[in-house]
């Protein structure tokens, strides 16, 4: 049985402008000791789905949550607020993007760590402090016994993120969720933190979910990747597969639009035209169709669901094109063909014109 | 920190000097009654006025008067004598200061006891009935002038005039003693004044705290606190209110500083012999030494409380360092 | 051919003052501490570094949004280091800036048409409203915006579109130099490519010289002809694109390149990442001699902390300030883009 299993999770917010379908039917699972990467841009629903696993979306009075979230078989959505509170910070932990604003500016970090520990464990303050010092040492903060009396503003960005990680791991959680853990950090510090997360995962056998928009980050640290778009998972596969044989046009678009150090310099960046859709008025049929270079008439009407790829049960895609066509398209794109050209070569019927550029 | 405090105290002396100079100059520039004439009483003859002027030292030049005044303060802590009744200014102020202090301090206690809980509850139950009623009442309390509120309070609730006999009315403040020397006799007479004085402040503080707390509760560290699995009560108070309340300390210090210099309107409505009344009366009677005394006292309290507030803030917010 | 801009020994210190009324200077943030380089016409020059390295300050100094503490900036042979605002005004037509945050760099109370049209008014090019509107709408089309949105306010646009508005405003008067200060960092990945392509296209159309400030080395590699790597206010390496990415010589450049997460799981597993120890020191108190020595994997005590290395040509043509530059073997194991 998987450690975490999310089934058909939906999180809708009632606002004055309409219902925001932030998460619209998401399913994935994470095994013990495994690292899952959730990749998406702003508005994809990646953060909201993880906040819901933590039970933090319950604090929004206008949220409607449905589906199942099973942690070791127990449904978290059906759990009471008090039960969720006991799990938060002990069985499941989360770290966030900006470590400066995520730590309380008025309390020493030692006190904040001790608080995290004593909420879930019946230990004395001295014992909790020892554990805090131990954790700070584990995450690589020099002179932990002295620095435990420091305030957040006395630490650098990288150090603060380490403190957050220490706090999150203090109670030996089974699952750690990291929401854009390195986005606010400098590149060299990012490298340190990623290395730390990888090392800790090995040592402590914690399952990790990393949420990010950076494909480079997930390539380094994850075993499996789920690509999210407009509140849904559009592709889910082992990490190697996502990069070597992706089968969703959005994934192709992401891979084609990023500048890469390992590609020849002359390669053009191929942006995805248009912009992410409004979560209140999602497009009809396939949510990606207004921006998809391979769109066909039927895609405006039919909403694809996440299905396994023929011959590869670990690889799921939500796309109406058949897998043969997709594989051919990818081979062409990999070789440097432009999307329009690839579409023509594959022979997709021209029943709908390619989407226009940018925002016109 | 120590050098900082010393520097601030030095600046305080400079400021008090400047203020006393300004008061002096304003006093002489503004058209006001000639204190010598007032002192002379009915049918003042020119000789009498002249001799009084000489007695009070008013015939000397302005700088000389000021210099003599300063000398007396520095050497003898003597603030002169009232032009009106020749009573030492210092004794007048010291007599009345406890009355003002008891009014101000009691008011502070009342408005904090009311304003802070109301602010917190309004923020937690934002948008619901409790919040709307609280903020609506706050608006009324802020808009109502103190003297109006005082008169209405007297009319409704005072024992002698009011419809419902609950509180002691105006004029009931004891002649002898004050809250510190005769607490049980004095306190009941201050209940209504405290409530009236505290009303608008409580409202302001409630609104202010509500706004701060709402802002703080959307900060990232609150999300972290919840993610740690802390009980919601701990999140709200230990993490939320703790942050939201620090600016309150700043304005509390300032408000208290101003009030210690005299709550003129409240003292007038309730006939409390405080510094505010003293200042008001002495301005009307062009009694410069007394005016100077009350101004300097008021300035002193504001400056000193400003300094205390800054120091306290450094203890509350570790990011602030002098 | 003379360079468009020449920077010599440029220094910018921001004083730190204490005191309530009489302020004493107790220290200084040495944001930029003696840098020299040229910008050639038509090229795209990249300036990379992490926070606190001084790259944004350099951008502001070049365009004279700040005045240097010492050193000189020359534009087309003319020293502009200490010109007054009046004297600078005509130059502002030639030098423009695109800023990082599309959400705060546009005045939220002005319409898009007004924002893009302002340069015409400020420099007295076109006062006539109707004609200006046409010019603005042409610009909007040029950057990929719908000209019919002329009267909309910034909040009605997405981040990528707002950045296009900023670009349109910057190129309105056909400047010669555009300084782009982290123009895509705040945008979603798929939108970044749109803006980067736009900048490249405009450069070709208008013959622009671009200074591209960024921390993302992948983007800089894609966009820039030559690159300056900055650390704590100094330029530590200066090289053209191939030189830097094939064989970086300064250990900091190597660490930066090694640290960039590459979207290729196989490469990620093969590469031995060069992880630096410690954090970036404060620019108020930089380490003596070589500023990088506190974190450098090739640090040699007694040399690197005593004698400051000068910028000199190293093997392969890179100009680097280092006593012990990276060898080819070190580069091969750590840097993903190294020539095989």
ipTM, 2 dp? 0.86
C262 CB contacts (<8 Å, ≥6 apart)?
A: A216, A219, A220, A260, A261, A262, C268, C271, C336
Number of domains in chain A: 1
Is the distance from CB of B213 to CB of B120 less than 8 angstroms?
yes
Distance (Å, whole) CA B197 – CA B199? 6
CA-nearest residue to A114 within chain B is B228
Distance (Å, whole) CA B198 – CA B192? 10
Per-residue pLDDT, averaged over B32-52, amounts to 74
A165 inside domain: no
Distance (Å, whole) CA A110 – CA B120? 28
> How far lies B19's CA from each of B25, B71, B81, in Å?
10, 16, 19
Which helix (H) or strand (E) segment holds residue B50: the answer is helix B46-56
Per-residue pLDDT, averaged over B309-314, amounts to 89
* pLDDT confidence of residue C337: 66
CB pairs under 8 A between A and C: 149
* pLDDT confidence of residue C136: 94
Q: Indicate the pTM of the whole model.
A: 0.85
At A127-136, the pLDDT tens digits run: 999 999 999 9
A159 inside domain: no
Residues of C in contact with A255 (CB under 8 A): 263
A257 inside domain: yes
Choose among C191, C194, C221: nearest Cβ to A261.
Answer: C221
Distance (Å, whole) CA B278 – CA B291? 8
Is the distance from CB of C42 to CB of C64 less than 8 angstroms?
no
Question: What is the least distance, in Å, from the CA of B220 to any CA of chain A?
Answer: 5
What is the maximum alpha-carbon separation in chain C? Answer: 69
Considering only residues 255 to 284 of chain A, which have any Cβ-Cβ distance to chain C shorter than 8 Å? 255, 257-262, 265, 268-273, 275-276
Residue A317 belongs to domain spanning: 245-346
A267 inside domain: yes
Residues of A in contact with C254 (CB under 8 A): none
* pLDDT confidence of residue A350: 60
A322 inside domain: yes
A270 inside domain: yes
Q: Kindly determine whether residue A272 and residue C190, on different chains, have CB atoms separated by under 8 Å.
A: yes
Bigger pLDDT: B56 vs A59: A59
Mutate to test the interface with B, among A71, A81, A82, A89 (most CBs of B within 10 A): A89
Distance (Å, whole) CA C206 – CA C221? 22
Bigger pLDDT: C174 vs B288: C174
Percentage of residues in chain C having pLDDT higher than 90? 56
Question: What is the least distance, in Å, from the CA of B231 to any CA of chain C?
Answer: 35
Query: Which has the closest alpha carbon to C221: C251, C250, C253, C265?
Result: C253
A337 inside domain: yes
Question: What is the least distance, in Å, from the CA of A188 to any CA of chain C?
Answer: 6
A263 inside domain: yes
Residues of A in contact with C161 (CB under 8 A): 275, 359
In the three-class reduction of DSSP (H, G, I as helix; E, B as strand; rest coil), residue B265 is classed as helix
* pLDDT confidence of residue A359: 28
Q: Which residues of chain C have pLDDT under 50?
A: 340
Residues of A in contact with B225 (CB under 8 A): 104
* pLDDT confidence of residue B31: 63
Query: Which has the closest alpha carbon to B117: B130, B105, B128, B106?
Result: B130
Residues of A in contact with C103 (CB under 8 A): none
* pLDDT confidence of residue A274: 83
Mutate to test the interface with B, among C16, C19, C20, C24 (most CBs of B within 10 A): C20
Which helix (H) or strand (E) segment holds residue A319: the answer is none
Question: What is the least distance, in Å, from the CA of A164 to any CA of chain B?
Answer: 9
CA-nearest residue to C19 within chain B is B4
* pLDDT confidence of residue A356: 44
- Chains in contact with C, where contact requires at least 3 CB pairs less than 8 Å apart: A, B
Query: Which has the closest alpha carbon to B305: B236, B267, B252?
Result: B252
Backbone angles phi, psi at B264, to 5 degrees: -55, -50
Question: What is the least distance, in Å, from the CA of A164 to any CA of chain C?
Answer: 17
- In order of start, what are the domains of chain B with their CATH numbers? 2-76 (no CATH), 94-316 (1.10.3720.10)
Is the distance from CB of A11 to CB of A52 less than 8 angstroms?
yes
Residues of A in contact with C279 (CB under 8 A): 156-159, 189
Q: Which residues of chain A have pLDDT under 70?
A: 349-360
- With cut-offs at 50, 70 and 90, classify the pLDDT of residue B285: confident
Q: Kindly determine whether residue B7 and residue C20, on different chains, have CB atoms separated by under 8 Å.
A: yes
Beta bridge partner(s), residue B299: none
């Amino acid at each position: 049985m998987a450690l975490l299993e999310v089934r058909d999770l939906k999180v809708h917010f009632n606002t004055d402008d309409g219902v925001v379908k932030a998460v619209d039917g998401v399913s994935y699972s994470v095994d013990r000791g495994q690292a899952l990467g959730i990749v998406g841009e702003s508005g994809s629903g990646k953060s909201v789905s993880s906040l819901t696993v933590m039970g933090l979306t319950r604090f929004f009075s206008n949220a409607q949550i449905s589906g199942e979230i099973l942690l070791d078989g127990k449904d978290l959505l059906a759990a009471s607020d008090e039960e969720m509170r006991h799990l938060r910070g002990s069985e499941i932990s989360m770290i966030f993007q900006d470590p400066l604003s995520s730590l309380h500016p008025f309390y020493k970090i030692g006190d904040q760590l001790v608080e995290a520990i004593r909420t879930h464990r019946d230990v004395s303050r001295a014992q909790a402090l020892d554990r805090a010092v131990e954790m700070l040492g584990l995450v690589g903060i020099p002179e932990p016994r002295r620095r435990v009396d420091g305030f957040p503003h006395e630490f650098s960005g990288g150090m603060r993120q380490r403190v957050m990680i220490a706090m999150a791991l203090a109670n030996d959680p089974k699952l750690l969720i990291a929401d854009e853990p390195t986005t606010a950090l400098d590149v060299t510090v990012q490298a340190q933190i990623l290395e730390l997360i990888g090392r800790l995962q090995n040592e402590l056998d914690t399952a990790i979910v990393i949420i990010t928009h950076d494909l480079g980050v997930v390539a380094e640290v994850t075993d499996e990747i789920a690509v999210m778009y407009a509140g849904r998972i559009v592709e889910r596969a082992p990490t190697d597969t996502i990069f070597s044989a992706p089968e969703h046009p959005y994934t192709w678009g992401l891979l084609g639009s990023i500048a890469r150090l390992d590609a020849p310099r002359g390669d053009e960046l191929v942006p995805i035209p248009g912009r992410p859709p409004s979560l209140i008025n999602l497009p009809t049929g396939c949510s990606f169709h207004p921006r998809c270079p391979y769109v066909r008439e039927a895609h405006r009407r039919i909403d694809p669901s996440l299905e396994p790829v023929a011959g590869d049960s670990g690889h799921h895609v939500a796309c109406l094109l058949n897998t043969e066509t997709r594989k051919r398209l990818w081979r062409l794109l990999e070789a440097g063909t432009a999307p329009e050209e690839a579409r023509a070569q594959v022979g997709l019927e021209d029943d709908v014109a390619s989407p226009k550029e940018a925002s016109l | 920190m120590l050098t900082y405090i010393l520097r601030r105290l030095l600046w305080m002396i400079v400021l008090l000097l400047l203020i006393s100079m300004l008061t002096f100059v304003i006093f002489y520039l503004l058209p006001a009654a000639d204190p010598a004439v007032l002192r002379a009483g009915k049918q003042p003859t020119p000789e009498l006025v002249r001799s009084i002027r000489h007695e009070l030292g008013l015939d000397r030049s302005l700088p000389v008067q000021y210099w003599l005044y300063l000398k007396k303060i520095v050497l003898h802590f003597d603030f002169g004598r009232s032009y009106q009744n020749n009573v030492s200014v210092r004794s007048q102020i010291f007599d009345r200061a406890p009355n003002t202090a008891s009014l101000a301090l009691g008011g502070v206690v009342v408005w904090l006891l009311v304003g802070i809980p109301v602010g917190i509850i309004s923020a937690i139950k934002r948008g619901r009935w409790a919040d709307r009623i609280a903020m609506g009442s706050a608006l009324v309390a802020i808009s109502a002038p103190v003297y109006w509120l005082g008169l209405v309070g007297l009319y409704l609730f005072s024992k002698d005039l009011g419809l419902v006999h609950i509180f002691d009315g105006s004029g009931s403040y004891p002649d002898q003693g004050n809250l510190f020397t005769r607490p049980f006799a004095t306190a009941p007479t201050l209940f209504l004044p405290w409530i009236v004085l505290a009303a608008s402040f409580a409202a302001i503080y409630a609104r202010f705290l509500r706004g701060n707390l709402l802002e703080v509760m959307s900060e990232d560290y609150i999300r972290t606190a919840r993610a740690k699995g802390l009980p919601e009560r701990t999140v709200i108070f230990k993490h939320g209110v703790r942050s939201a309340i620090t600016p309150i300390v700043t304005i509390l210090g300032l408000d208290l500083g101003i009030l210690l210099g005299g709550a003129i309107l409240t003292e007038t409505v309730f006939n409390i012999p405080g510094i505010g009344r003293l200042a008001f009366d002495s301005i009307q009677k062009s009694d410069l030494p007394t005016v100077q005394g009350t101004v300097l006292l008021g300035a002193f309290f504001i400056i000193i409380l400003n300094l205390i507030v800054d120091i306290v803030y450094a203890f509350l917010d570790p990011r602030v360092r002098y | 051919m003379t360079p468009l801009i020449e920077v010599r020994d440029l220094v910018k210190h921001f004083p730190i003052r204490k005191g309530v009324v009489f302020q004493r200077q107790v220290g200084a943030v040495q944001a930029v501490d003696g840098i020299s380089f040229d910008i050639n016409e038509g090229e795209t020059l990249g300036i990379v570094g992490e926070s606190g390295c001084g790259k944004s300050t350099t951008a502001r100094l070049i365009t004279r949004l700040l005045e240097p503490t010492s050193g000189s900036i020359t534009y087309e042979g003319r020293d502009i280091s200490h010109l007054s605002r009046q004297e600078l005004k005509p130059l502002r037509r030639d030098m423009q800036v695109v800023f990082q945050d599309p959400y705060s760099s546009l005045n939220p109370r002005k319409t898009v048409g007004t924002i893009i049209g302002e340069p015409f008014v400020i420099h007295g090019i076109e006062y006539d409203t109707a004609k200006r509107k046409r010019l603005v709408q042409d610009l909007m089309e040029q950057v990929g915006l719908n000209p019919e949105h002329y009267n909309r306010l910034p909040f009605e646009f997405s981040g990528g579109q707002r950045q296009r508005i900023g670009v349109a405003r910057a190129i309105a008067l056909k400047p010669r130099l555009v300084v782009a200060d982290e123009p895509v960092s705040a945008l979603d990945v798929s939108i970044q490519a749109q803006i980067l392509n736009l900048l490249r296209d405009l450069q070709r159309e208008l013959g622009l010289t671009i200074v591209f400030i960024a921390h993302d080395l992948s983007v800089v590699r894609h966009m820039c002809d030559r690159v300056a790597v900055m650390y704590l206010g100094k330029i530590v390496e200066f090289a053209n694109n191939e030189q830097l990415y094939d064989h970086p010589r300064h250990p900091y450049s190597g660490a930066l390149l090694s640290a960039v997460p590459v979207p290729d799981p196989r490469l990620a597993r093969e590469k031995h990442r060069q992880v630096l120890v410690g954090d970036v020191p404060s620019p108020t108190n930089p380490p003596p001699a070589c500023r990088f020595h506190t974190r450098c994997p090739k640090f040699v005590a007694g040399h690197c902390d005593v004698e400051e290395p000068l910028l000199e040509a190293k093997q392969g043509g890179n100009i680097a300030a280092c006593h012990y530059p990276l060898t080819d073997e070190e580069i091969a194991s750590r840097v993903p883009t190294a020539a095989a």
